[in-house]
Structure 1
């Protein structure tokens, strides 16, 4: 073992040119906000604020913000044809939102035109998979994006604690056959994500390719459909949210007591590494993943 400070090879930090610092919020688009809200509340999320001018609700637990967008004039809501909720947006925390947006567009990202109305905050965004949006947020500490656009619900705790230490572990994205490498290149180029080695797997669904954010705070999993799913597979989209927890067993027991159902078959069932909830409303499921101290 080489003593510290003597001929020790310097290991460079992961590049993080946008200053990514976790996920600020994830958004669902739906035509059934009350039904989706019930699903979220069984998962431990609490409604804490309403948008001042749109049918949009902010839910929170611990450090996780989750938005339900049911505004009828929003293209992401009006485009829904089967009433199934979809993950329509994710917001990355960055050091400087304008600079980050400019850099992404220069690298080939498609910008999202602003539809902010008078007295509403403009949050720069680029197009993501399946018609979703990737927002870039640089306000989340003393002053947040919710301070302008949302009105707190009176008497409601604005910072409800997380159940079983839950936090955002990441997102699962379904991709078209043969498109994984294209998406890997996209996330590496735009956001400095890096591919996780094949021998490092997480959860109970170790399929596809897993990418790690440069801040180390969340993962991004790319899954191609099995050949036999070709006829009825879903298009490219953000499929589900991964929730990290230090104790999967505790989280499963607590969520079951709240009415959450988990997939339990001989090949897929809750265990120490993770668990998968049954789909609600035809499309909403959550994957629990054991998160270590690292």
Structure 2
């Protein structure tokens, strides 16, 4: 575990260009429950990793990777935190250059593994011991999924239930909100709308949330926020899938009611 407070390096280079989130990785030791919940939310398996027990679930533009690989970083993460977000992948034009830039400017190095003929994906450590991957194979060209995954022969739903991933929420100890804000804004160049929200791009934000009494051990990616153009229709479709939703303080956002013992991350749907 690195020093809990971010110390910027001496390198004064500009932050690397980060274009967005390619995928969210879930660590789990409850594969059946995780598969059921993702299918209820409208995701379907699209591809299987060529050498690891990793499955890509997709829906529209949203990609979630479920990692069940034994004796892996994800397995250890699931043992500690249950089914939870253990990593996110950020897109950047040059992953190697971005990685070196981040290290010289104060990021914390971490290790990843790659098999023969697979992409070597660099990563840095993030909140709660999670990881941030740097991906430069995405978009209309040859993607990471073309290289490291093989398609799963399973029909996709007729239309997505969810529109896009619009945000993540980080739960932090109150005194650590400023250091983590600096970590993301100074290292990655994310913009700030206020002291509690960072902007990855025009579509995606990171929300900083703290609670009195929370500690270093409580820090995590605690929520995923998805958008939909029609909240009422999406509510009806999710209810048909066996899920219920509850109101939040924000009238334009609902929380999906999910078993806390099966999924440690909360899920919100917003307009």
The TM-score, its normalising length taken from structure 2, stands at: 0.86
Once the 2 structures are TM-superposed, how far is the Cα of residue 113 of structure 1 from its aligned partner?
Answer: 2.1
- The answer on whether the counterparts of 2:90 and 2:133 sit within 8 Å (CA) in structure 1 is yes
| Cα 1:196/1:56, change in 2 over 3 Å | same
Q: Could you tell me how far apart the structure 1 residues matched to 2:60 and 2:253 are?
A: 20
1:85-234 matches, cutoff 5 A: 85-141=83-139, 142-157=141-156, 161-164=159-162, 166-197=163-194, 209-213=196-200, 215-225=201-211, 227=212, 230=214
Q: Could you tell me how far apart the structure 1 residues matched to 2:107 and 2:192 are?
A: 20
Once the 2 structures are TM-superposed, how far is the Cα of residue 65 of structure 1 from its aligned partner?
Answer: 0.8
- The answer on whether the counterparts of 2:221 and 2:265 sit within 8 Å (CA) in structure 1 is no
- The answer on whether the counterparts of 1:46 and 1:160 sit within 8 Å (CA) in structure 2 is no
Corresponding residue for residue 253 of structure 2: 274
Q: Could you tell me how far apart the structure 1 residues matched to 2:264 and 2:80 are?
A: 10
Q: Could you tell me how far apart the structure 1 residues matched to 2:62 and 2:120 are?
A: 21
Once the 2 structures are TM-superposed, how far is the Cα of residue 82 of structure 1 from its aligned partner?
Answer: 6.2
Once the 2 structures are TM-superposed, how far is the Cα of residue 161 of structure 1 from its aligned partner?
Answer: 4.3
Q: Which has the larger radius of gyration?
A: 1
Once the 2 structures are TM-superposed, how far is the Cα of residue 156 of structure 1 from its aligned partner?
Answer: 3.7
- The answer on whether the counterparts of 2:68 and 2:74 sit within 8 Å (CA) in structure 1 is no
Q: Could you tell me how far apart the structure 2 residues matched to 1:221 and 1:109 are?
A: 20
1:27-38 matches, cutoff 5 A: 27-38=25-36
What do residues 31-66 of structure 1 show as CA deviations (whole Å, max 9, x unaligned)? 112210110110011101111221111100001110
Unaligned runs of 5+ in 2: 1-13
Moved over 4 A (4+): none
What do residues 121-140 of structure 1 show as CA deviations (whole Å, max 9, x unaligned)? 11111111111110111111
How many residue pairs were aligned? Answer: 255
Corresponding residue for residue 262 of structure 1: 245
Query: What value does the CA root-mean-square deviation take over the aligned residues?
Result: 2.3
- The answer on whether the counterparts of 1:21 and 1:217 sit within 8 Å (CA) in structure 2 is no
- The answer on whether the counterparts of 2:128 and 2:217 sit within 8 Å (CA) in structure 1 is no
Corresponding residue for residue 40 of structure 2: 42
Q: Would you tell me which structure has more strand in proportion to its own residues?
A: 2
Q: Could you tell me how far apart the structure 2 residues matched to 1:175 and 1:60 are?
A: 29
Matched, 1:66 2:47: no
Q: Could you tell me how far apart the structure 2 residues matched to 1:79 and 1:194 are?
A: 29
Once the 2 structures are TM-superposed, how far is the Cα of residue 149 of structure 1 from its aligned partner?
Answer: 1.5
| Cα 1:218/1:75, change in 2 over 3 Å | same
Matched, 1:242 2:225: yes
- The answer on whether the counterparts of 2:51 and 2:115 sit within 8 Å (CA) in structure 1 is no
| Cα 1:55/1:160, change in 2 over 3 Å | farther
The TM-score, its normalising length taken from structure 1, stands at: 0.80
Unaligned runs of 5+ in 1: 1-15, 199-208
| Cα 1:248/1:146, change in 2 over 3 Å | same
- The answer on whether the counterparts of 1:62 and 1:160 sit within 8 Å (CA) in structure 2 is no
